[in-house]
Amino acid sequence: MKKFLTKGQLSILIILVVLIIDQVIKIWVKTHMFWHESIRVTDWFFIYFTENNGMAFGMEIIGKLFLTSFRIVAVALIIGYLIKIIKRGLKTGYIVCISLILAGAIGNIIDCVFYGVLFSESTHSSIATCVPIGEGYSEWFYGKVVDMFYFPIIDTNWPEWIPFVGGEHFIFFSPIFNFADAAISCGIIALILFYSKYLNENMKQSDAVIDAKKEK
């Protein structure tokens, strides 16, 4: 039976679909919602507009310019690796996982590189708009990543009798994330669940090749 798409074409399709969905959602939220505005979908799912300078799920640990540069280098390495495994004809599912991770990484890089110069600032009292290049809220590479998916599945207080945390507010799941983060997470989780053994085998094969070259 003839395949409709090659592994390379499938990878490109996945990346494009993830990027389009991610950017459409982000641009809509950015240009239609106030900063920290919340739209209730269900009791455990909200569209909550926030922005962050950091990595997935809002983590902020290092300088913005370094983080953006690191992301770009990481994406370049992933692209090189993806091309390599496609040429080697590795399993389609494995290629899909790497493609999801790559697409998510590129999606957040777009925010970091371009949003600062393309949009005005989002505040509690003003909704951002598209502006001429250079008139945005920040400089190139200093844009903020737009997050919006919030799933407070459990929102309660710890029982008073529990030591140290008794009576304190507890939320699970508290991180706010975007579609790109979800793509990265799905790719990584699928790799761990279904391809960890496969990944280890390929790493061993690579080490064997390196050792063989050294012996020569």
Identified catalytic residue from 22, 43, 181, 207: 181
Question: Does 211 qualify as catalytic in the annotation?
Answer: no
Identified catalytic residue from 43, 147, 207, 211: 147
Question: Does 181 qualify as catalytic in the annotation?
Answer: yes
Contacts 24+ apart (CB under 8 A), 22-29: 22/103, 22/104, 22/107, 22/178, 22/179, 22/180, 22/183, 23/107, 23/110, 25/148, 25/178, 25/179, 26/111, 26/146, 26/148, 26/178, 26/179, 29/146, 29/148
For 5-54, the pLDDT digits (tens) are 899 999 999 999 999 999 999 999 999 999 999 999 998 999 999 998 75
Instruction: Return the pLDDT at 54.
Output: 59
Kindly report the average pLDDT of the chain as a whole number.
87
**pTM, two decimal places:** 0.84
- Ordered by start, the domain boundaries in the chain are 7-34+59-146+177-215
User: Measuring CA to CA, which residue among 144, 88, 87, 155 is closest to residue 118?
Assistant: 144
